[in-house]
Structure 1
């Protein structure tokens, strides 16, 4: 009997899981499964209650929505807002080979997941660069949509037929997930009616809500979420520390340079949409040495502004960072709305994050760029201060041809 085929769940859930799997012509609660992927793990063979089985511990410094605590043979991973407006969720990650901990209070009903995991279904492409950076890409056996994946290690697994697409049209296929029997399904930080069904069937659903972080480094630090799942805490810390070091080095390089007046965003549904100063992109812009009239707005979302107010204040901006994810030329921009033609000066230095789009339409800016804000900041700093970065090799941004 495979030790993880029925997982550490209450008996009623375990029986439900096996019945559902059997109904799908899967190997019930015995035999091998896709969970054999990445099965070589350093598990506890002679448990000692006094031994600390997590010698490498993660410390959260920049992420505000993630917490990790350690308890010798298990760790508690807490996501403070697993979906917008949702109550905090905690997951008990038990080192393989250790006995199931008897917990009470808030953790009595928390999912218990044996780690390191061997297989994972991923609800967002933002998870994949982190898994690759940790050397754990082989554990990815399912993704919501294969077309948008850019991470080479996962892309090759897709091409080899080793990765299942489980959410056609964005809707998770419950039967397909249960048939795949991943150790965990990591969500995209949004709620879905399929998740309770999966949990009832013994599939642990964990929320990765990195996108709710307003800080670029805060989002990148969620690599430690995957470090906890895969047993690569040390590597996760080393990768993040390197990203943070490089990010701060770029920010320091432009810190004393004159600010560049930059136009952000574009017209959407009759209004101008622009990143607020306290938002993820607003912070990137500020750290890249950019300034704009609404940079002082410390809200963390997008601003909806009248087109007239933007024309009045920004028609003479020195550069333009578009948010349109399709326009590869100014002509394409003008065809969308003729009022864009007013911005003749910023159009001379108009840039869009479309350099890293794959053949299926997936944009690595929204994938690797989330883990590597240092690279995004490098691009933005080179756009706003080309004199300081004369030989910069752009990762994500391309300049729109001047008409």
Structure 2
């Protein structure tokens, strides 16, 4: 019986192996011909990116164009530690530049991208690129109904449904690039594991920016990956135009705005927005009075309760009081808050205009790429006469 099987195998091998060898030769020749075609069709003098972007507001990244590739530079910029990571974004079918590791080289346009932050979601939607979104951190904190539908239809994976990045799932997802969050060159074990597997990790640092337009401009990083420079230039130009119109209105009409405080006490400490922080920038552009406007802190400023309480008694407004969503929330924390002028006049606002019970907040999603709407919200709060027809979108008045 064994001889019979061997005999049949021998006959199969005699008849089939020549065809397999011929197929291998054909595939090899096809691959070789494809490489030759790419090499022959590549024109080193041709500009493969006729539409380019410029970085005018963000300080966390930059781009340099070459004929068939772009160098994306991501900076750690707000302290004395200098840290720059460079990626070569190479047009598909053209030669790669020398000097870049495999995990620092990306073929563009990228087909499949994973995201570890909700701030990226609004960017994908802005560029009509949800087809390129293949993985997210977790659905829980996402506001977009479109993305939730993609997750339900299993077209988009959750990479960290339990709170930790599942590297095996990320590798199996076949994403080409992961948009992470952190400082450039952050020593994250999971990110390192993905890079070792050949998946480049771009650490988006939009959260380091100190102004609204700077944060919004990080959408251009996604545009660089997708070769959507033309689309992002058109969209961002409209944003800038609308944003500057509102700014000009404030500058022309407001000499001195009302006073506001920020934050809420945590025990005996009260953290308010520092005078050089993103939180204060949002107030500064609306031309309001702020007790700590001359402070040099780029983040929160820690004060004692009594210091802020004295200003709170007279402040006309109270902005972003922690996680409070109602006046009752504030009253339950400390009855002394009811002494505030802003509490009595119900002039307390927080960034819960669009949030989900699961924890999603659209302020950190579509709000990132709609700085002109956030600006309108803030101006409508402090100077309602300037924008009487605007209804709050990302902010909500506490009731």
**Alignment match, 1:398:** 396
Deviation track 1:28-78 (CA, whole Å, cap 9, x = no partner) reads: xxxxxxxxxxxxxxx999321110101011111111111100111100000
Deviation track 1:322-342 (CA, whole Å, cap 9, x = no partner) reads: 2423x2211111112233222
Q: Which has the higher helix share?
A: 2
**Alignment CA distance shift 1:243-1:156 (3 Å):** same
CA shift, 1:371, in A, is: 1.6
Deviation track 1:191-216 (CA, whole Å, cap 9, x = no partner) reads: 32111111111111111111111121
- Counting matched residue pairs gives 355
- 1 CA distance for matches of 2:40 and 2:332? 66
Given candidates 147, 150, 156, the residue that maps to 1:154 is 147
Tell me the SS of whatever aligns to 1:131.
Answer: helix
Q: How does 1:367-378 map to 2 (within 5 A)?
A: 367-378=365-376
Task: Compare 52-61 and 142-151 and name the one that shifted more.
Answer: 142-151
**Alignment CA distance shift 1:184-1:86 (3 Å):** farther
User: Is the Cα–Cα contact under 8 Å of residues 82 and 207 in structure 1 kept in the other structure?
Assistant: no
In the alignment, structure 1 segments of 5+ residues that lack a partner are: 1-42
Deviation track 1:354-403 (CA, whole Å, cap 9, x = no partner) reads: 120124220001111122111111111111011222222111111112xx
Given candidates 354, 357, 373, the residue that maps to 1:356 is 354
Deviation track 1:293-335 (CA, whole Å, cap 9, x = no partner) reads: 101224321111111111122311111112423x221111111
Given candidates 196, 200, 214, the residue that maps to 1:218 is 214
**Alignment match, 1:287:** 285
Kindly report structure 1 stretches of 4+ aligned residues shifted beyond 6 Å: none
- 2 CA distance for matches of 1:274 and 1:211? 18
TM-score, normalisation: structure 1: 0.83
**Alignment CA distance shift 1:237-1:376 (3 Å):** same
**Alignment match, 1:99:** 95
**Alignment match, 1:46:** 41
- 2 CA distance for matches of 1:221 and 1:123? 18
- 1 CA distance for matches of 2:146 and 2:49? 27
Q: How does 1:339-350 map to 2 (within 5 A)?
A: 339-348=336-345, 349-350=347-348
Tell me the SS of whatever aligns to 1:94.
Answer: strand
Q: In the alignment, is residue 73 of structure 1 matched against residue 68 of structure 2?
A: yes
Q: How does 1:73-222 map to 2 (within 5 A)?
A: 73-81=68-76, 87-101=83-97, 103-104=98-99, 107=100, 111-190=104-183, 191=186, 192-222=188-218
TM-score, normalisation: structure 2: 0.84
Query: Between Structure 1 and Structure 2, whose CA radius of gyration is higher?
Result: 2
- 2 CA distance for matches of 1:222 and 1:213? 10
User: Is the Cα–Cα contact under 8 Å of residues 102 and 198 in structure 2 kept in the other structure?
Assistant: no
User: Is the Cα–Cα contact under 8 Å of residues 103 and 198 in structure 2 kept in the other structure?
Assistant: no
Tell me the SS of whatever aligns to 2:389.
Answer: coil
Supply the RMSD in Å over aligned alpha carbons: 2.1
User: Is the Cα–Cα contact under 8 Å of residues 315 and 341 in structure 2 kept in the other structure?
Assistant: no
**Alignment CA distance shift 1:347-1:180 (3 Å):** farther
**Alignment match, 2:259:** 261
**Alignment match, 1:334:** 331
User: Is the Cα–Cα contact under 8 Å of residues 141 and 163 in structure 1 kept in the other structure?
Assistant: yes
- 2 CA distance for matches of 1:288 and 1:168? 39
